[in-house]
Amino acid sequence: MALETNVLLFSTIMTTVLNLKPLQDKMQEYLASGLRLGWLINHQDRQVEIYRGGTGVDIVAMPVVLSGEEVLPGLSLEIL
């Protein structure tokens, strides 16, 4: 019997990583597995990468208020 998972939201917080590529690749893996919304929070470069299933990656500068969008309506997270 196969186990079905439905991941709605995933967030990765990066503090002092020299190479961002492995984390970006992991986010792409999550998208391929059905992730609908993901945030890669990069404090080093003061930006957040927003991953959405079926679309590209948006990069926004910090500070920002992230939204759960239609995945988790009403959720907001302020990133300073």
Helix or strand (DSSP H, E) at 48: strand 47-52
Cβ pair 7, 37 in contact under 8 A: no
Q: Is residue 4 part of a domain?
A: no
Q: Is residue 3 part of a domain?
A: no
Question: Hey, what are 63's tokens?
Answer: 């500070």
Residue 46, φ and ψ in degrees, nearest 5: 60, 50
The three-state DSSP-derived secondary structure of 30-47 is HHHCCCCEEEEEECCCCE
CATH number of the domain that residue 28 is part of:
3.90.1570.10
Number of domains in the chain: 1
Give the residue numbers spanning the domain of 37: 9-79
Query: Digits of tens for pLDDT over the chain (80 positions)?
Result: 444 445 566 666 666 666 889 889 999 998 998 889 999 988 888 999 999 988 889 999 999 999 999 888 999 999 98
State residue 63's pLDDT score: 96
Q: Taking the model in full, what pTM does it have?
A: 0.81
State residue 1's pLDDT score: 41
Q: Is residue 1 part of a domain?
A: no
Which segments of 1-80 does DSSP mark as H helices, in order? 21-32
Q: Is residue 22 part of a domain?
A: yes
